[in-house]
Structure 1
Amino acid sequence: MSASPARLRLAANVRRQRRLLRLSQEELGDRAGIHRTYIGEIEREGANVTVDHMQKLADALEVDVSRLLSAD
């Protein structure tokens, strides 16, 4: 089964913002309090991310949580 459109957008937006901030997956994980392997799973569209984890990612990436699901 393929990933949902929301999961695809989340993965792309996390990856894009992480790269804009020039963070490794490990650095993002440290900032967010999330293990680096889970960050990789999110970026590979494999994780079904909870709202709590989305908020941690948004805070660590310095964006509003809505930006992580944005289609632009």
Structure 2
Amino acid sequence: MIQFHDFGIDIQTYTDRGKENDFPDVNQCPHGLSRRPLHRHGYYQRYALTAEGEYRLWIARYARENAAKP
């Protein structure tokens, strides 16, 4: 599930910070399956195109603690 977050910065600043952006803590599963916090467990890249140029964005990935275990 995608959740949008307003970082309050422009796209160039977001790109420059990369993985060092202030990614939010997610306090519970948005599906309501768990009231426990989600854990950040990696990043993936996406591209954004604007009239000003092309940007490579780092997106944080989250998972429920028990979802990562077999």
Normalised TM-score (structure 1): 0.27
More strand by share: 2
Normalised TM-score (structure 2): 0.27
More helix by share: 1
Larger Rg: 2
The structure showing larger relative contact order (alpha-carbon pairs under 8 Å, at least 6 residues apart) is 1
